[in-house]
Chain A
Amino acid sequence: MLGKDLLGLYDTSAEDIVAILDTAVGMKKLLTQNLKKLPHLQGRTVTTLFYENSTRTRCSFELAAKYLGAGTVNISASSSSVQKGETLIDTGYTLDAMKNDVIVMRHPMGGAPHILAKHVRASVVNGGDGMNEHPTQALLDFYTMREKFGSFKGLKVAILGDIKHSRVAKSNLFGLTKLGAEVVMYAPATLMPQGIDRMGAKIASSREEALAGANVVMGLRIQLERMHGGLFPSLSEYNRYYGVSEEHLRFADPGCIVMHPGPVNRGVEFTSDVIDAPNSKITEQVLNGVAVRMALLFLLVKNRQEGEKHE
């Protein structure tokens, strides 16, 4: 069963993933009925602690908590304050002393939520840690895939973009391989991490090979700072050799869907005709993100309540 925290999908079982997705179905139903004042988390507090800029993830967690009746607090700590001032562990002690139930943390360094979780009573949800994991993004991706295809068995998911720095790619890989899907990756060699093939990913040798027969075509955001760091020469060259246009999508399965964790660079990872096509789920993913986070917060707090009864 789901434990105190959700730190990554590497350590989460297929059963727990499915349980979260199943719970999210009901949450989405309530959301689509515009029922946004639910009692599930009444009297509970959810704090978002973000050491990195984020609009959608932070907002998505905050709304998910609010829709379920929780009190919310948002803390934005600039990345530079990681280096000086209060330590992460001391911040954790402080938030714990204030009786937070859940801390959602985003942090630029891999493993930071794991360290926080060891030092606090509150449940810790990893909202993205460095190059490590972004489990709730992957969960909402899975929800979107399952909604379309019903099952993960035999599904081919092509992930294209900056795999090396992507916590989204890794959380997707860890979860999808457990759920029975096939994951194929494609990126410039400079943006492909070592050893990912040994984690279950198939590394394609061309864009066409990656897309061939794919049911899901997922793009990852290319960050400008990677170009400045010398990892690829220009956005237009990236788009020409690694980007996906409508023409490339012809290699994929005719019933495929297009996904992207956002924010999208139009004309870089995907051309606008791909982003705006009817089979693009990019906006739907955002709605699903709220439902999945509602489900996760609900399940974690339910776990806590059971724990508290035993104390």
Chain B
Amino acid sequence: MSKLLIKGGKLVFADGVREGDILADGGKIIKIGQGLEDAGAEVVDARGLHVFPGLIDMHVHLREPGFEYKEDIASGSAAAVHGGFTQVCCMPNTQPVCDNAAVVGYIVARSKEVGLCKVRPIGAITKGEAGESLAEMGKMKDAGAVAVSDDGRPVSDARMMRLAIEYASDFGLLCLSHCEDKSLVDGGVVNEGYNSTLAGLKGIPRAAEEIMLAREIILAETLGKRVHICHVSTKGGVQLLREAKARGVRVTAETCPHYFMLTDDVIVTYDANTKVNPPIREAEDVAAIREGLRDGTLDCIVTDHAPHHRDEKSGEYNLAAFGISGIETSFSLSYTALVKSGVLTLEQLADRMSAAPARILGLEGGSLKEGGVADIMLADLDEKYMIDPKDFLSKGKNTPFAGREAYGRVKCTIVDGNIKYRA
């Protein structure tokens, strides 16, 4: 591994932004300081740029194995480094389901072969994500799984979820819960409210999400174990989490850019790129999500990157697939919506998009520090550009943000001290 010297950037630390240089060698940051020189190092000119710890997305769908027509590990990894991410955790709803060590091992091996970002598989909670019997969590952990989740097919049986939380904790694995009471969803496709009535589309009530979220909090509390809540979208969900955290419940939570940027006004044109699960909610939810990110009730920002083929997003709204291809827009959108508008400081944004997910899952990275891994992202915060899905390296062009202007463009992504993306 060659040496890398990042010179003249504004380094984003947890406690502030300071100008300085970073010298990386052997995949580690070996020195941070002013006026560093190294004749043997490749120099990256970071003047005018901000230098962040590499972004970490603990909730993506890479679709391989099984749905390579939507995305594969190669295209998903290319999209990740394009978006400034050095590490992503991929959900197990593949074909076959990632519910055993063999599939976990395949994803680990294939992502190393691709060699762009680090891909950390999330194993299924139950075999086949069928909600009936526990998957082999110990073996999956040994093969490289960093957490367990039945994302997209939530464990509806409360006893099964209780057992999963208990058993997973033996292996230090965290259960990531996609909260959705399917009986209340009842075939809904958008948020239930004014706009669902206006568009004549079946609504999903907030209660569908909040009831299961409350269940997970109660399980975590009574068991004294940890649980993590996926993609929180409602005001009520934020409130439940805030109260639980105040009581000391060991719960963490994530949200996505579309939940703090969009209201369900966007659905009335029947553009299926706005169809996502949980659905895009209303203005008061958007405000509550932003406040939750600000006060730390919501620990981190993920993308729930869910690439789909355009045929799955073109016909009737009801028939379209749920999901947004988000990994290449997350940083710019988050910076624009949260930092430029004063909700978060730059340091807090780095925490929500890097340090927090590392903390929650016990991953490497998440900060710029001597001796730490050299996973680094450089961005030009002043550059304004228009989001165009044609520029995506992901196979999934399904975004509701096409045509939107955003600030903060990723310029360079460095993984283990090697440049993996450069604008």
Residues of A within 8 A of B196 (CB): 193-195
Which B314-332 residues have a C-beta within 8 angstroms of A? Answer: 314-319
Interface size range on B against A? 20 to 34
Q: In the complex the two chains form, what is the Cα distance from A73 to B199 in whole Å?
A: 29
User: What's the nearest-Cβ distance from chain B to residue A20, in Å?
Assistant: 21
Q: Which of B193, B195, B315 contacts A89 (CB 8 A)?
A: B315
Min CB–CB distance A164 → chain B (angstroms): 8
Does B67 count as interface, using CB distance less than 8 angstroms?
no
> Would you call A83 an interface residue if the criterion is a C-beta within 8 Å of the partner chain's C-beta atoms?
yes
Query: Contact flags (1/0) for A99-127 with B, using CB distance below 8 Å?
Result: 00000000101111011000000000000
Check if B43 is an interface residue, CB within 8 A of chain A.
Answer: no
B319 touches A130 (CB 8 A): no
- Residue of B200, B203, B314 with highest tally of chain A CB at under 10 A: B200
User: Total interface residues on A, using CB and 8 Å?
Assistant: 26
User: What does the 1/0 interface line of B177-203 toward A look like (CB < 8 Å)?
Assistant: 000000000000000111111111111
Among B142-200, those with CB < 8 Å from A are 192-200
| B270 adjacent to chain A (CB < 8 Å) | yes
Are B192 and A131 in touch, CB under 8 angstroms? no
Closest-CB distance, A15 to chain B (whole angstroms): 22
Q: Which positions 324-344 of chain B face chain A at CB distance < 8 Å? A: none
Name which of B202, B270, B314 has the most chain A CB atoms within 10 A of its CB: B270
Contact partners of B270 in chain A: CB under 8 A: 110-111, 114-115
Say whether, besides A111-B270, A194-B203, A88 and B316 are in contact (CB < 8 Å).
yes
Any chain B CB within 8 A of the CB of A170? yes
Question: Which of A107, A112, A194 contacts B197 (CB under 8 A)?
Answer: A194
Q: Are B319 and A82 within 8 A (Cβ)? A: yes
Question: Is A109's CB under 8 angstroms from B193's CB?
Answer: no
Number of A-B contacts (CB under 8 A): 69
Instruction: Say yes or no: B200 contacts A110, CB within 8 Å.
Output: yes
Checking A10, A110, A195 against B194 with a beta-carbon cut-off of 8 angstroms, the contacting residue is A195
- Interface 1/0 per residue, B297-317 and A, CB below 8 Å: 000000000000001001111
Identify which of B198, B202, B315 contacts A87 (C-beta below 8 A). B315
List of A residues within 8 angstroms of B193 by Cβ: 194-195
| B322 CB, nearest partner CB in chain A, Å | 15
Q: Which residue of B lies closest to A131 (CB)?
A: B200
Assess whether A132 is interfacial by the CB under 8 Å rule. Answer: yes
Complex interface bits, A164-207 against B, C-beta within 8 A gives 1, otherwise 0: 00010010000000000000000000000111101100000000
Q: Which residue from chain A places its CB closest to the CB of B318 in the assembled complex?
A: A109
- CA–CA, A12 to B187, complex, Å? 30
In the bound complex, do residue B194 and residue A194 qualify as a contact, i.e. CB atoms below 8 Å apart? Answer: yes
Q: Please report the C-alpha to C-alpha distance between residue A196 and residue B198 in the assembled complex, in whole angstroms.
A: 8
When distances are taken between beta carbons in the complex, the residues of chain B under 8 Å from A132 are: 199-201
Residues of B near A194 (CB, < 8 A) are: 192-194, 196-197, 203
Q: How far is the CB of A134 from chain B (nearest CB, A)?
A: 10
Closest A residue, CB atoms, query B200: A132
Asked if A130 contacts B197 (CB within 8 A), the reply is: no
B317 contacts A195, C-beta separation under 8 Å: no
A133 within 8 Å of B (CB atoms): yes
Q: Does A62 make an interface contact (CB < 8 A)?
A: no
Once A115-B270, A194-B194 are accepted as A-B contacts, the answer to whether A110 and B315 lie under 8 Å apart by CB is: no
Given the interface pairs A114-B270, A194-B193, the reply to whether A88 lies near B198 with Cβ below 8 Å is: no
The minimal Cβ–Cβ distance linking A19 to chain B, given in whole angstroms, is: 25
Known: A111-B316, A115-B316, A194-B192. A133 touches B198 (CB 8 A): no
The contact of A199 among B197, B311, B316, B317, by CB within 8 Å, is: B197
Chain B residues, CB < 8 A from A82:
316, 319
Q: Is the CB of B317 within 8 A of A109?
A: yes
Q: Are A110 and B199 in contact (CB under 8 A)?
A: yes
| Contact residue among B197, B269, B319 (Cβ-Cβ distance under 8 Å from A196) | B197
Q: Name the B residues within 8 Å of A162 (CB-CB).
A: none
**Knowing A194-B192, A194-B193, A194-B196 touch, does A131 contact B315 (C-beta < 8 A)?**
no
When distances are taken between beta carbons in the complex, the residues of chain A under 8 Å from B319 are: 82-83, 109
CB proximity of B219 to chain A, nearest CB, Å: 28
Contact A110–B317 (Cβ < 8 Å) = yes
Chain A's closest residue to B272 (CB) is A115
A89 and B314 in contact, given A111-B270, A194-B193 (Cβ under 8 angstroms): yes
Q: Cβ of A195: which chain B residues have Cβ within 8 Å of it?
A: 193-198
Q: How far is the CB of A193 from chain B (nearest CB, A)?
A: 4
Q: Are A88 and B197 in contact (CB under 8 A)?
A: no
Residues 269-294 of chain B, each 1 if its beta carbon lies under 8 Å from chain A, else 0: 11000000000000000000000000
Residues of A within 8 A of B318 (CB): 109-110, 130
B198 pairs with A130, CB closer than 8 A: no
Q: How far is the CA of A87 from the CA of B314 in the complex (A)?
A: 9
CB-CB nearest in chain B for A118: B270
Asked whether A141 is an interface residue with its Cβ less than 8 Å from the other chain, the reply is no
- B200–A111 contact, CB under 8 A? yes
Question: CB of A269 within 8 A of chain B?
Answer: no
11 extra interface residue pairs, beta carbon distance < 8 Å, beyond A115-B316, A133-B200 = A82-B316, A83-B319, A87-B315, A110-B318, A131-B200, A132-B199, A167-B200, A193-B196, A194-B194, A194-B203, A195-B198
Closest 6 CB pairs between A and B?
A132-B200, A195-B194, A110-B200, A111-B270, A131-B200, A193-B197
Q: Return 22 A-B CB contacts under 8 Å, by A number.
A: A10-B198, A83-B319, A87-B315, A89-B314, A109-B317, A111-B200, A111-B316, A114-B269, A114-B270, A115-B270, A130-B318, A131-B201, A131-B202, A167-B200, A170-B200, A193-B196, A194-B196, A194-B197, A195-B193, A195-B196, A195-B198, A199-B197
